[in-house]
Amino acid sequence: MASPKSHVLISFFLSTLVVTAVTSETTCLNFQSIISFGDSITDTGNLIALSTPNQLPESAFPPYGETFFHHPTGRFCDGRLIIDFIAEFLGLPYVPPFYGSKNGNFEKGVNFAVGGATALESSFLEKRGIHCPNKNISLGVQLKSFKESLPLICGSPSDCRDMIGNALILIGEIGGNDYNFPFFDHTNIEEVQELVPLVISTISSAVTELVDMGGRTFLVPGNFPLGCSVIYLTLYQTSNKQAYDPETGCLTWLNKFSEYHNDQLRAELIRLRKLYPHVNIIYGDYYNALLRLIQEPSKFGLMNNPLPVCCGLEGPYNFTIGVKCGLNEVECCNDPSKYVNWDGIHMTEAAYKWIAEGLLRGPYAVPYFDWSCLSSEIKDKESLDI
């Protein structure tokens, strides 16, 4: 794997290429809806709808949802997600989950993201010895559900094409679980790295298919810095101080893996932009949007030690493997707005708010969103609400 310095150079080079290649093609669109695919980072209630009553995910129980909605909504967070802040910014309603609400009103958006989803098919991963707790919710399955639901959402083929063309299409974050499941089992990093081109190809194919259906604007996020995730900091805890970034306390080797995935994704998006110059394909830099919160937490009103979780139990990071937030014995912090990490895997509403701000206002969307055609009320909005 490349050195950290080489990753920086690669990222800079890719960013330069992106700006050079697509700035002239990026035009402002007044989005009429949001169409979303992904995993628990974006799930607004799909996993609950797909679960049996006796096997509900932790997101079905308090304190999930306590900060904003004041009750669990199926979001793996104490409040709003990145997609919720994007919807608010655009003046659209929160994007409803598709599964379990097929008679719902999807005129302003629909969400197919499911907690635990993978980019690759679960059967493919299982053949490689990678166990997927939730089956049949891959990116391909979500896309199939979308295509089958079009008669419910829009009606005629021309109406559907217009609807897709006027939507902001969010592809992910997806792919994180393809790596999480093997890493949770301490699979060798070389074996996990073999999945990266397959994950990237799957994401690219989804974008291509949606472009063919009329899609014109895509937000395709990269992966978060896995080495800053508390579940990994607990699973791979070591006395070797050299394994940690001295600035953040994150595991360096896992962050390098995330950088590797993100570099490959950015390169593929550049290829797609050249192939479809009439389409806006925006890379969402989730990695650096989150990392800055850990590097300079006080700048964002967060506590100085940003790694421990808000909802957890014991251990150096207030987290114990196998003891999930939502259980009676697990305590929740008094003020989630001061925390980055919510439950060991997912972030707090406060963290998601700052990530969304970095995407919508820059500099963590490449190329930047063009809001020139939107109302002055949106353009002049100083900050996302929280």
- What's the CATH number where 271 sits? 3.40.50.1110
Tokens representing residue 32 in the block: 């009429």
Do 285 and 314 meet the contact criterion of CB atoms below 8 Å apart?
Answer: no
186 is catalytic: no
In a domain, 354, yes or no: yes
Do 301 and 338 meet the contact criterion of CB atoms below 8 Å apart?
Answer: yes
Closest-CA residue to 302 (of 331, 344, 335): 335
346 is catalytic: yes
In a domain, 282, yes or no: yes
70 is catalytic: no
pLDDT at residue 42 is higher than 50: yes
Q: What is the DSSP letter of 95?
A: P
Predicted TM-score of the model (pTM)? 0.91
In a domain, 135, yes or no: yes
Q: What is the pLDDT of residues 94-120, one digit of tens each?
A: 999 999 886 677 989 999 999 999 999
Rounded distance between C-alpha atoms, residue 352 and residue 239, angstroms: 31
In a domain, 370, yes or no: no
Q: Which amino acid is at 2?
A: A
Q: Which residue, chain included where needed, has tokens 């997600």?
A: 81
- HSE toward the beta carbon, residue 129, CA cutoff 13 A: 9
pLDDT at residue 134 is higher than 90: no
Closest-CA residue to 228 (of 200, 257, 199, 203): 257
Taking the CA atoms of 235, 239, 243 and 246 in sequence, report the sign of the dihedral they define: positive
Categorize the per-residue pLDDT at 372 as very low, low, confident or very high, splitting at 50, 70 and 90: confident
Range of the domain at 63: 28-227+252-305+346-358
In a domain, 35, yes or no: yes
Q: What is the pLDDT of residues 175-200, one digit of tens each?
A: 999 999 999 999 999 999 999 999 99
In a domain, 207, yes or no: yes
User: For the chain, what is the domain count?
Assistant: 1
Q: What is the pLDDT of residues 211-238, one digit of tens each?
A: 999 999 999 999 999 999 999 999 999 9
Q: Catalytic residue, from 39, 43, 285, 343: name it.
A: 343
The alpha carbon of residue 117 and the mean position of all alpha carbons in its chain are separated, in whole angstroms, by 11
Q: Catalytic residue, from 40, 51, 229, 258: name it.
A: 40
The number of beta carbons lying within 10 Å of the beta carbon of residue 240 is: 6
Three-class SS state of 122? helix
More confident residue, 224 or 2: 224
Do 41 and 81 meet the contact criterion of CB atoms below 8 Å apart?
Answer: yes
Do 76 and 40 meet the contact criterion of CB atoms below 8 Å apart?
Answer: yes
Rounded distance between C-alpha atoms, residue 352 and residue 220, angstroms: 16
Categorize the per-residue pLDDT at 135 as very low, low, confident or very high, splitting at 50, 70 and 90: confident
